[in-house]
Structure 1
Amino acid sequence: MTAAEVDAYLAGLPQDQRDALEDLRKRLKSRLPDHIECLSYAMPGFRQPGPKGKMVVGYAAFARHLGLYPHSGSVIPLIDCAPFKTSKSGVLFTPAHPLPDALLDAILRLRQDEIAAGYGRRG
């Protein structure tokens, strides 16, 4: 699970989706500079540093939209993502309408707070 695998994932996308997700990738890297870029659940994303680092966020391309997924079903329902469509686990967008920085920051902040509070720990 390396940045090269993420490069390969992005290279296989149509140009508009590739451009949009490369921009999102760059924005995520700037906000999560010490995190590990990887593939999880067949989508690119960023994991906390360390051998047991939790997934913070992933992103993916689909036939009619792109998605950002904070690897938690608890984050998206807490945020007003309008005018974007959402699912329990992600926010959907298109190359023509990327996620604004404020929404991206809110998602990352809530997910990191959730991890810090122990979300996903066993025992």
Structure 2
Amino acid sequence: MAAAKPVTIDEYIAAFPAEVQGALQEIRNTIRQTAPEAEETISYEMPTFNLNGSYLIYFAGWKKHVALYPVTERIFETLSAELAGYKGSKSSVHFPLNKPMPLDLVKKITELRIAENHLAVAK
């Protein structure tokens, strides 16, 4: 029988080994502090923060990294020097679990996503 899909971010984080839980909680806390008005939910089976009725940012735990989504083209351009040391996909950045989580960078990405969210709402 498959494990139940998480309904809350607490359930999502609890499903990981202790060392991964710490990294996930650090990222969650940083996003929560940066976007206190955002609502926590689970979307696409990932922890998600919604703002103004649309998604703001997702994060997900993997075997060797924590991924943050979306990292838009504008964010990549704005933070290119800081993101250069990290792998990722077209719209994500991967933070390796064997290094401290770059919480300042998570905060900057969240701040830029908030700005993008507000621009989208204004249109």
TM-score, structure 2 as length reference: 0.78
Task: State which of 1, 5, 20 in structure 1 corresponds to 2:23.
Answer: 20
Q: 1:19 to 1:99 in 2, by over 3 A?
A: closer
Q: Would you identify which runs of 4 or more consecutive aligned residues in structure 1 move more than 6 Å?
A: none
Post-superposition offset of 1:115 = 1.9
Match of 1:84 among 72, 83, 86: 86
Structure 1 residues 41, 4: CA separation in 2 closer, same or farther (over 3 Å shift)?
closer
1:83 to partner: Cα distance: 1.2
- State the shift of 1:35 in Å: 1.0
Alignment of 1:59-98 (within 5 A): 59-70=59-70, 73-78=72-77, 79-80=79-80, 81-98=83-100
Deviation at residue 76 of structure 1 after TM alignment:
4.5
Aligned positions of 1:29-44 closer than 5 A: 29-44=32-47
Quick check: 2:75–2:109 contact (8 Å CA) kept in 1?
yes
Instruction: Indicate if the aligned counterparts of 1:75 and 1:111 stay in contact, CA closer than 8 A.
Output: no
Q: Provide the secondary structure at the position in 2 that maps to 1:117.
A: helix
What CA distance in whole angstroms lies between the structure 1 residues aligned with 2:100 and 2:68?
10
- More helix as a share of residues: 2
What is the TM-score when the length of structure 1 is the normalising length?
0.78
Structure 1 distance, partners of 2:120, 2:35, is 19
Gaps of 5+ in 1: none
1:8 aligns with 2:11: yes
> What is the aligned residue count?
114
Displacement of 1:88 in angstroms is 1.5
Q: Which runs of 5+ in 2 are unaligned?
A: 1-5
**Which letter does structure 1 place at the counterpart of 2:102?**
P
Q: Which has the higher contact order (CA 8 A, sep 6+)?
A: 2
